[in-house]
Amino acid sequence: MLGRRGDGYHDLQSIMQTITLHDTLVIEPAPERGWRFFCSEPALQNHDNLVCRAARALQEYSGQDMPGAAISLYKAIPAEAGLAGGSSDAAAALKGLNLFWDLNLSFPELLKIGAALGSDIPFCLHGGTALVEGRGEKVTALPSLPGCWVVLFIPPGLGCSTAEVYGALKKEWFGRPSLDPLIEAVQSGDGDMLDCWFERGDTNTLEYPVLNAHWSLEQLKARLRSSSLAPALSGSGPTLFILTKEYGLARSAATALTREGYPVYLCRTTSGRKE
């Protein structure tokens, strides 16, 4: 995180990575014109859902009367957990409806529409491993992380509103930590350098306000670090993740955390869009 901008947002410098954990978006023909939306989580079935906002934005952008579409979203990514689940749903809706409605919008057009809907959506359209800058609209692909395992676990009862977490950032935290060692590790594909990055413990600017506000999370992180695990905060939290090339380590961490009662997801890193 580099600093606060005049428009209230922040200038990012962030490495983002897609993983195998995913929701499923199904688009089917419907008899009536326009579109309707179903979500497997009733609380998310409303017209503010980013999928609906993406459908509306496409309709407005293309100015056409669309053939009927029934859009169903089956959730697997926990909501409001700092995992960009809603943004990935919106990215899928933009790509899927562009095909379904035969709009023929170019990838840069989808990026522009996505960026207006949410800061993480351009990255979700790209996928893979990328350096994300600006408000989130500048996405530079990096070499794919070599088949890493990711253990996600969610400390319960900690609501981390993204806007509040960003709002609690202090000036002295901007530019910390420097991402240079991480960028070098990803670019060189050096697994040991990557391990070193996570072992240092200080990996995400948003961790400073989140750990300040949630002492229990700081304690949990310290306890796991003392047993040789290197958890890091995902986005604005509260999800923590452990990234490793070793399946044995990922599996034993996932088993131990499940025994402790945390919701745990054992995933792999995925590669992004092919040019």
Q: Under 8 Å CB-to-CB from 145, ≥6 apart: which residues?
A: 17, 129, 186, 194, 243, 269
The span of 72-80, 104-112, 113-121, 201-209 binding ligand C5P (CB under 6 A) equals 113-121
Q: Which of 203, 197, 194, 180 is nearest to 145 (CA)?
A: 194
Among 45, 162, 270, 271, the residue binding ligand C5P under the rule CB under 6 A is 162
Length of the chain: 275
Shortest reach from residue 274's CB to ligand C5P, in Å: 26
Among 85, 136, 209, 238, the residue binding ligand C5P under the rule CB under 6 A is 136
In the region spanning residues 11 to 70, those forming contacts with ligand C5P, defined by CB under 6 A, are 12
**Can residue 9 be called a binding residue for ligand C5P (CB under 6 A)?**
yes
* 138 or 268: CB nearest ligand C5P: 138
* 112 or 268: CB nearest ligand C5P: 112
Distance CA 55, CA 9 (A): 24
For residue 245, what are its two tokens? 């090339």
**Can residue 247 be called a binding residue for ligand C5P (CB under 6 A)?**
no
* 12 or 16: CB nearest ligand C5P: 12
Catalogue the long-range contacts made by 133-138 (C-beta closer than 8 Å, 24 or more residues apart). Answer: 133/11, 133/12, 133/13, 133/14, 134/11, 134/12, 135/5, 135/7, 135/9, 135/10, 135/11, 135/12, 136/12, 137/111
**Can residue 174 be called a binding residue for ligand C5P (CB under 6 A)?**
no
- Tokens 């796991």, located at residue: 224
**Can residue 85 be called a binding residue for ligand C5P (CB under 6 A)?**
no
**Can residue 10 be called a binding residue for ligand C5P (CB under 6 A)?**
yes
**Can residue 166 be called a binding residue for ligand C5P (CB under 6 A)?**
yes
**Can residue 138 be called a binding residue for ligand C5P (CB under 6 A)?**
no
Residue whose Cβ sits closest to ligand C5P? 119
Among 119, 129, 205, 269, the residue binding ligand C5P under the rule CB under 6 A is 119
Question: What CA–CA distances, in Å, run from 12 to 41, 137, 165?
Answer: 31, 10, 14
Give contact residues for ligand C5P (rule: CB under 6 A). Answer: 9-10, 12, 118-120, 135-136, 162-163, 166
